[in-house]
Amino acid sequence: MVARVLFRAVIMGPPGSGKGTVSERIVKHFALKHLSSGDLLRTNVQNKTEVGVIAKSFIDQGQLVPDDVITRLILQELHKINETSWLLDGFPRTVSQAMALDKAFHINSVIDLNVPFQTIKGRLTARWIHPASGRVYNTEFNPPKVPEVDDLTGEPLIQREDDKPETVTKRLKGYEALTRPVLEYYQNKGVLETFSGTETNKIWPHVYAFLQAKLPDVNQK
């Protein structure tokens, strides 16, 4: 019997790059376990775990969770699924996090979604929300019948602070400054695969073809 080869991947891309959609498709086709550092952090904070309490003390002060705390949280979780192939999302964000991950696990591939900032800015700033229901509109793809008004209730829509043009610009610049060294680190290790484009549906076939050469598509019998 042939031993199953474990495949460990990291997906990177700025907020609004389509990372969530691409991750969902990877999980669906290649049966990788998707692990999001943001989700994991929120769960630990809510459950008041030891690491969650420490992380919350930084979050409450508006500070980034330190490398050693987030690294401990992620590695703890990855060791629980030691016999599983996985896709890691939102970690590592710094070179020291990447080095700590490398010491613990062999990373096969780092998938980098390279979407122009102008495209992302257009996507994110086009998003409007109905606060009471959580209904999301997009002025480009799914606009409300009346601008800035919810279709069902007639109540005003809001733009999240995160989606305001000045905030989006700041987030994108912050992402680039923080993660460029991480991308360079993985490029030097020969595991970085960059997929460029402006539309997720056009980027996806290239990501799919790359992974299909390495893994079986579980949907193909």
- Residue 72, annotated ligand binder? no
- Determine whether the annotation assigns residue 15 to a binding site: no
Is residue 64 marked as binding?
Answer: yes
Other Cβ atoms less than 10 A from the Cβ of 174: the count is 12
Can you list the alpha helix ranges (DSSP code H) found in 82-194?
Answer: 95-104, 117-125, 165-189
61 is known to lie in a ligand binding site: no
Could you tell me whether strands 135-138 and 127-130 are parallel, antiparallel, or unpaired per DSSP bridges?
Answer: antiparallel
Identity (one letter) of the amino acid at 100? A
* Burial of residue 111, with CB atoms counted within 10 A of its CB: 0-12 exposed, 13-18 middle, 19 or more buried: buried
Q: Which residues are catalytic?
A: 19, 93, 127, 160, 171
d(CA 164, CA 117) in angstroms, rounded, equals 14
171 is in an annotated binding site: yes
Is 136 known as a binding-site position?
Answer: yes
Residue 117 assigned to a binding site: no
- Rounded to an integer, what is the distance from CA 107 to the centroid of its chain? 17
Query: 18 labelled as ligand-binding?
Result: yes
> What tokens does 67 get?
């490398």
Please indicate if the annotation marks 186 as binding a ligand.
Answer: no
Instruction: Quote the CA–CA distance of 51 and 206 in Å, as a whole number.
Output: 38
Q: Which residues are annotated as a binding site for GTP?
A: 16-21, 127, 136-137, 200
Going by the annotation, the residues of the binding site for AMP are 37, 42, 63-65, 90-93, 97, 160, 171
Binding residues: 16-21, 37, 42, 63-65, 90-93, 97, 127, 136-137, 160, 171, 200
